[in-house]
C-alpha cells in the first residue's frame, strides 16, 4: 500500500501470527519489517517508548523499509513520564539524533509525545517550553490523557499552541474496546490498561493522527469505522495527510482491522484501491472430494 493520500498501519511490525499473510511464511524475523513495509506505509514505533535505540538501529530501519514508508515513533518514557518534560535535554538530543537518520532517509512520519495520565494542564508551561525546543523541520504530535485537557480553557490553549507550532493532536479512540465485556483474555487485559478519553476531531496541523482501538472480533468495530471514514475522507479532501493506526487487543488481528478500514475508505475515495489479499497469503486449495 503506497499512496500519497494517507498513511495506514498497525501498532507493531513484529507479530509471528502474520506469517503467511503480511510476511512470507518462511521469512526470517530479520525480513519482517521489510515485508510489513510492502503492505502498509506506516507503523507505530512503541519500542522507542521503553528505550532509545542505537543510531545503527535507526539506520537499519531506514534501509529495510520500502520507499514512501514512514515511522511514527513514540517519545521515550524517560522524557514523557519520568522526567515529565523537565531536565530531559540529554535524552531528547539522543532521541532527536536517531530521528534525524530517519528524516534524512525520508522515512520519518510524525513522532508523538504521549503524556502520562497524571500530566495535567498544570504542566502547560513545561509542555510549551519542551515543544518549542523541538526542531521545526520534523513533524510532531501530542497525545494528552489527563481529562482536564479536554475542558476549557486548557483545551483551547493546547490547540492554539499546537497550531502555532504546526504540530498535530493525537486522537485516541478506545470506545470499541469498552462497548461490551471482554470476550478474549487479550481484551480483558486491554480493558485494564487502555485509557478512556473524550473524542475530539480538532485538526491542528497537516498530519491528523487517529489511533483506533478495536476488538479481536474486528466485525464489532464496523460502527466506528463507519463513523471515522467520512471524517478521514474529509481531511484528505482538505489536502491533509492523515495517519491511521488500527489496534486490536491481540496484535494478530490488527492488519484485518486495517484492511476493513481501508476498504471502507476506498468506497468513498475513488483513487484508493481495496486491500483484498495480503501479498504473502497463500490461496486456499479447493477440496475436490
Q: Quick one: pLDDT band at residue 222, thresholds 50, 70, 90? A: very high
**What mean pLDDT is predicted for residues 87-115?**
98
Residue 287 predicted with pLDDT over 90? no
For the stretch 72-89, pLDDT in tens is 999 999 999 999 999 999
- Cα separation, 19 vs 227, in Å, equals 31
Would you state the pLDDT for residue 3?
Answer: 64
**Global confidence as pTM:** 0.95
Residue 288 predicted with pLDDT over 80? no
Angle at the Cα of 188 from the Cα atoms of 186 and 190, rounded to 5 degrees: 70
Q: What percent of the chain has pLDDT over 90?
A: 93
Q: Which residue has the cell 515485508?
A: 35
Residue 96 DSSP label: H
Would you state the pLDDT for residue 282?
Answer: 74
- Cα separation, 114 vs 266, in Å, equals 30
Q: Quick one: pLDDT band at residue 273, thresholds 50, 70, 90? A: confident
- Cα separation, 125 vs 186, in Å, equals 38
Residue 276 predicted with pLDDT over 90? no
**What mean pLDDT is predicted for residues 119-133?**
98
Residue 132 predicted with pLDDT over 60? yes
**What mean pLDDT is predicted for residues 248-262?**
97
For the stretch 58-77, pLDDT in tens is 999 999 999 999 999 999 99
Say whether 208 sits in a helix, a strand or coil.
coil
How far does Cα 205 stand from its chain's mean position?
Answer: 16
Output the nine-digit C-alpha cell for 235.
Answer: 481531511
Compute the half-sphere exposure of residue 66: CA atoms within 13 Å on the CB side of its CA.
17
Q: Which domains does the chain show, CATH number per domain?
A: 7-266 (3.20.20.410)
Q: Report the chain's mean pLDDT, rounded to a whole number.
A: 95
Would you state the pLDDT for residue 1?
Answer: 60
Residue 285 predicted with pLDDT over 90? no
Residue 278 predicted with pLDDT over 80? yes
Would you state the pLDDT for residue 289?
Answer: 41
Q: Which residue has the cell 512470507?
A: 24
For the stretch 179-203, pLDDT in tens is 999 999 999 999 999 999 999 999 9
Name the residue among 103, 95, 105 with its Cα closest to residue 64. 105
- Cα separation, 32 vs 202, in Å, equals 35
Compute the half-sphere exposure of residue 185: CA atoms within 13 Å on the CB side of its CA.
0
Would you state the pLDDT for residue 275?
Answer: 82
Contact 276, 283 (CB under 8 A): no
Would you state the pLDDT for residue 164?
Answer: 98
DSSP per-residue codes, 23-79:
B-TT--GGGHHHHHHHH-SEEEETHHHH-PPPHHHHHHHHHHS-TT-EEEEBPPHII
Amino acid at each position: 500500500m503506497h499512496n500519497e493520500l494517507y498513511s495506514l498501519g498497525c501498532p507493531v511490525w513484529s507479530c509471528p501470527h502474520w506469517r503467511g499473510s503480511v510476511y512470507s511464511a518462511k521469512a526470517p524475523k530479520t525480513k519482517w519489517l521489510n515485508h510489513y513495509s510492502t503492505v502498509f506505509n506506516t507503523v507505530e514505533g512503541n519500542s522507542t517508548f521503553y528505550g532509545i535505540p542505537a543510531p545503527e538501529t535507526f539506520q537499519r530501519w531506514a534501509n529495510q523499509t520500502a520507499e514512501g514508508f514512514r515511522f511514527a515513533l513514540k517519545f521515550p518514557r524517560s522524557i514523557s513520564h519520568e522526567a515529565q518534560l523537565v531536565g530531559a535535554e540529554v535524552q531528547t538530543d539522543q532521541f532527536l539524533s536517531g530521528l534525524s537518520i530517519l528524516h534524512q532517509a525520508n522515512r520519518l512520519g510524525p513522532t508523538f509525545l504521549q503524556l502520562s495520565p497524571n500530566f495535567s494542564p498544570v504542566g502547560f508551561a513545561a509542555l510549551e517550553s519542551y515543544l518549542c525546543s523541538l526542531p521545526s523541520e520534523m513533524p510532531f504530535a501530542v497525545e494528552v490523557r489527563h481529562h482536564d485537557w479536554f475542558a476549557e480553557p486548557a483545551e483551547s490553549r493546547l490547540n492554539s499552541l499546537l497550531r502555532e507550532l504546526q504540530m498535530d493532536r493525537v486522537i485516541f479512540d478506545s470506545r470499541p474496546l469498552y462497548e461490551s465485556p471482554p470476550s478474549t483474555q487479550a481484551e480483558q487485559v486491554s480493558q485494564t490498561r487502555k485509557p478512556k478519553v473524550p473524542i475530539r476531531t480538532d485538526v491542528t496541523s497537516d498530519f491528523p493522527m487517529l489511533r483506533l482501538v478495536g476488538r479481536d472480533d474486528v466485525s464489532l468495530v464496523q460502527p466506528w469505522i463507519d463513523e471515522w471514514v467520512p471524517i478521514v475522507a474529509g481531511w484528505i479532501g482538505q489536502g491533509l495527510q492523515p495517519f491511521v493506526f488500527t489496534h486490536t487487543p491481540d496484535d494478530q488481528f490488527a492488519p484485518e482491522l486495517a484492511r476493513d478500514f481501508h476498504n471502507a475508505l476506498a468506497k468513498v475515495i475513488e483513487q484508493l484501491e481495496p486491500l483484498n489479499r495480503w501479498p504473502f497469503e497463500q490461496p486456499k486449495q479447493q477440496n475436490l472430494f
